[in-house]
Every structure is written in structure tokens, then in C-alpha cells.
Structure 1
């Protein structure tokens, strides 16, 4: 029987101390179209073993992703580097907020070893925000990319980075390591930033993605948003235009799910047909690839999507192709 995924954590540290005094917001019952089966397959168990054997952190667990059962069964995990504690307190996010510990110098090699053991053809690496570090963790990202290249040269690498706000030279360091896909999520429309993503700046994030293309046009760029946070459709369409102005290739749109009563409430569960309409609009704007469903997440089906991205680029560059 389908059940809503409810991940349990072993440690008992306060997960969101900064939200402890915020008023509770009721968690709405999820509609049938966004229910998933709980994990437990042999493939899931093997991925779980390898991840924890190497003391690695995954965003799949930390963010309570509803797709963990499906992805881990296929031996696909999204690794989260630089610890499990973020320096920001976004109201949508289930990752712990606080003062992070120092970096693990061996983490890039341990992660690369796990990529090889899992036999990943495509890997996604993300991180917490590390505003405490002089470069925001850029060099750690670069070291991780280089370590994976050494151990598993055929594996394509997708990174999902923070915004490196006020970290001069950080973006250039990461791009120089040449990931195959550079993802940075806008998360929501600009009008929601003060309540949903208060530590970030919308137009800085758009400019970050634009700058990646200026530094290396061969790198695919990608961004994602959540809907159901009170945004209007015209705001989402304007966001699409902003991303296309930055030459972003790939857009993901998924339903926001409230992790706890202390997090931002779900204003609305968006039905599947509206997601289909947003997908149609986004393709008309010129994105190479669009994924828009209630359960879409940044790294869901990332390997398959990377293959589709390459094919879409080749098709657009083919003689006689019409530029979007």
C-alpha cells in the first residue's frame, strides 16, 4: 500500500533550533498524486550500506526526499558534501541550521570511492551553504570533482551549488574543475524570498547561472523551483524568462512539501495538469529540457536527463535546426 515517506533520523540533536519559537503551521494531508512507497528493496539496502560505510551525507536523507526509495533502488544517491549543517535558515528546507564543523579533507576521495563502488554513470554532488568559509567551499567542490574524475573517469558529474554570495572568485574555482552540469536552484519566485529564502538574493542567483555560461559555454546549466508556496503563475512565467535570459538549459519544477510544523506552510497542492501547462510554457521559452511534475526534484532521474540534455543540444545545433 502506498504510504507517505517519513524518514527517521538516528541522532537526537535539535534539528532546527532557530525555528523552535516559531508558531506551528498545520501540515496538510497530501493528495494521492504525490504519495510514494516507502524504501526497502535490496538495491536500496545496498546503496544505504555503501553510503553509511563511508560516513557520507546525502541530501536524499537530510532533506527527506520522497523519491529516495526509487533512486536508491537504482543505486543513485545525491551526495551532500561539507557536512550536514547549513549556515542559513531557509523556511522550506529540512537540513539542520547552525555552525558547521570543519571540512573533512578526505571527503572528496571517500566520495569518489563510493561513486566507483556504486558503479555510477552519472553522479550529483550538492552541499550545504558554508558562509563561514572564505570561499564558500568552492575549492572543496573542485577537489571533489577532480577526485571523481581520477577514480571514475567515465562518470559524468552534476553539481548543485550554493550561491557563493560575497565569495569573490569562488564560482571561477568551481567552473575551472569542469563539471558536466552546473545546477543552482532559485527555489521560488523573487516575491517569496524574504519569507522562503531570506539569506539569498534572487538576481545574484540568476547572475551566477549566467556567469557559468560566460566562463564555459560547454557546461550545461540547470535551475529548479518549488510551487505551492503562494506564487502566482505569471511570477513563474517571469522567472522562466529570467532564466532564459541567463541562457539556462534545464528547468525543474516540483511541489513544495512541508517538512515539519515549524516550516513554511503549503499554500496549495498544484494538480498534475497545471504542471503539464508549466512544462509546455517552459519549452516554448526555449529550455533544452524541462521536468515539471509534483514529485520532480533537482536530481531525480538526473542520469537519464543528462542523456536527454546532450541529445537536445545536438538536435538544436544540427544544420537547419531552428534556434529557440
Structure 2
């Protein structure tokens, strides 16, 4: 498959650059903040920004890894800004966000991988916005579990770490990240703070089979992951990994059924789904399903 092949109708995105979008873009620039929405060329940026929701990307905008699917810049970072957590908290306050999502580039140049900045950002958001829930999408910290403990001790409302793809393709798709290390991180996070929901994401269309996607969901559930999101990989540029195939909406619906049957408290599965897409709704759905299970038991 080449990048010139026309996308299916269900992948066409409606552009909406209205007042909220422009205001949010201006605010991000004024506070020198980065968003994964822009850096990763997310197809949902227009919808999310129009609804005044964004995923903040901390620790700069240069990643020390070069994953074959990701559009974020790669290189040697020079930025470590300890005032960044407060600026993120200010932006959350100005936006009136009820559920804040914070992610980062991978910072393998830092001993703790940036865990201290993650923790400081969680605390700064909570101090300014006591009624806002905070979700963090973290890197693997190269298996530094003390760094993970720093993040978990700050008690985010959701701990998110993406497996990205199936076991067979993991080494080819991801730079330095390891499939089993991802599973171990998610398991350890749950052991450190059992009450905090864990979440992971799978992208499809890079050469996996449907059975492998279901097996990946089984692996996540075996490591006590609560929420899973599944979406279509879209090639950011011609330099990136090619799309092997497009999945249909019906296939995504089937993945959702499989995931719910496996016991996930919430499954978000669709062509344009990304890890933080409709994140607030995911939290509410997961909480409702968890409460239903508790009552049933």
C-alpha cells in the first residue's frame, strides 16, 4: 500500500478552525507549551481543540527515540524547564478543562526519564484546579521503576502507557521500547496504586493480524490493565512506516466487543481513535462499568 492510495470515507476529517481552536492555539504559543495534538499530527486536533480539550506534551518537543510511526522530532534535547508544570496548570485553568491529559517525549537523557516533572505537573494542576482529573501518558523510563514510583506517588487519576503494537512487530515499530517491559510497567503501576486505573493503546494497520490484536488485549488484561484504545495507524510522512491496510468500522466494533468480553472497564475502538481521544468520556464510562461490576458481585 502506498501513501497515495485514497483514504476510506470513514477516515475523512472535518476541519473546524473556529474561535475556540484559534484561541487555544494562541494560548499555547503564549505560554510556550507543546501539545501532542500538533507534534504528532493528530487527525482529531480540530474536533478536540474546538471543544477546548488538548493533550499537553511536557519535557520539550524533541524525543530521544525515533519510533517508525511517530511524527515527533527526534534528537538530543536541551530543554528541562522546571517552570513548565506551572504553565501547564495555568493553561488548564484558563481552558476550564475538567480532565487534563499530560504526556511527554521520551527523555532517555535524563536519569529519571522526566518522572519528577510529571509529578510536579500533576501537583501543579491539582493545586490550581482541584476539580480537574489528571491523566498521564508516560514513557517506559527505560525500566526505572523508582521513576515510575515517583509518578504513581503523585496519584494521577489515570496511568496510561501505550503498548502500540503486537508482540511480533514491537521491535520493528518502536525504538528501544520493549513489549514485555511495557506490560511490566503497567503491572507495577497497578501494584503501586491499585485504585488508579491503568490504560494502554494499540494502533492497527502496520502488518498485524486480527488474532494478534486480540492476543495483545489478552496480554494487557493479564497485567490488570483497565482501559484500552484501538485506532488506525496513519502515516505522518513518506519517511515513516507505511500503512499495510485500513481496518473497517465493523472490525473496530468487533475489537470493542472482544475487549469488553475480556473484562476491560472501557474500550474505545475506531478508525480515528487515539490514546487520549474522548479521554474524559473514557473515565466516566470506566467508572460506571466498574461500579456495575461491584454491585453485581
TM-score by length of 1: 0.89
- Is 1:282 matched up with 2:239? no
For residues 165-200 of structure 1, what are the alpha-carbon distances to aligned partners after superposition, in whole Å with 9 as ceiling and x for unaligned? 142411000000000000000000011122211311
- Is 1:124 matched up with 2:98? no
For residues 218-271 of structure 1, what are the alpha-carbon distances to aligned partners after superposition, in whole Å with 9 as ceiling and x for unaligned? 101100010000001111111111100111110100000000111000000111
- Is 1:38 matched up with 2:2? no
For residues 255-311 of structure 1, what are the alpha-carbon distances to aligned partners after superposition, in whole Å with 9 as ceiling and x for unaligned? 000001110000001111111111111111010000110000111111122111111
Query: Which of 206, 210, 214 does residue 191 from structure 2 map onto?
Result: 214
Using the TM superposition, give the Cα deviation of residue 315 of structure 1 relative to its aligned residue in structure 2, in angstroms.
1.2
Distance in 2 of aligned mates of 1:285 and 1:147: 36
Secondary structure at the aligned position of 1:265 is classed as: coil
Query: Which of 270, 282, 289 does residue 293 from structure 1 map onto?
Result: 270
Secondary structure at the aligned position of 1:153 is classed as: coil
- Is 1:57 matched up with 2:41? no
- Is 1:169 matched up with 2:149? no
Alignment of 1:1-324 (within 5 A): 26-318=3-295, 320-321=296-297
Using the TM superposition, give the Cα deviation of residue 138 of structure 1 relative to its aligned residue in structure 2, in angstroms.
0.5
Secondary structure at the aligned position of 2:34 is classed as: coil
Q: Call closer, same or farther: CA 1:307–1:26 in 2, change over 3 Å.
A: closer
Distance in 2 of aligned mates of 1:57 and 1:244: 32
Distance in 1 of aligned mates of 2:27 and 2:16: 16
| Structure 1 contact 136–170 (Cα < 8 Å) conserved | yes
| Structure 2 contact 16–47 (Cα < 8 Å) conserved | yes
| Structure 1 contact 27–260 (Cα < 8 Å) conserved | no
Distance in 2 of aligned mates of 1:62 and 1:71: 15
Moved more, 54-63 or 39-48: 39-48
Secondary structure at the aligned position of 1:173 is classed as: helix
| Structure 1 contact 289–309 (Cα < 8 Å) conserved | yes
Q: Flag structure 1 segments of 5+ consecutive residues without an equivalent.
A: 1-24
Using the TM superposition, give the Cα deviation of residue 101 of structure 1 relative to its aligned residue in structure 2, in angstroms.
1.3
| Structure 1 contact 172–215 (Cα < 8 Å) conserved | yes
| Structure 2 contact 205–233 (Cα < 8 Å) conserved | yes
Distance in 2 of aligned mates of 1:237 and 1:36: 27
Secondary structure at the aligned position of 1:165 is classed as: helix
Secondary structure at the aligned position of 1:253 is classed as: strand
Q: Call closer, same or farther: CA 1:83–1:204 in 2, change over 3 Å.
A: same
The equivalent of 1:17 in structure 2 is none
Using the TM superposition, give the Cα deviation of residue 102 of structure 1 relative to its aligned residue in structure 2, in angstroms.
2.7
Q: Call closer, same or farther: CA 1:27–1:205 in 2, change over 3 Å.
A: farther
| Structure 2 contact 143–181 (Cα < 8 Å) conserved | no
Distance in 2 of aligned mates of 1:26 and 1:311: 40
| Structure 1 contact 27–265 (Cα < 8 Å) conserved | no
Moved more, 46-55 or 79-88: 46-55
Q: Note the aligned Cα RMSD (angstroms).
A: 1.0
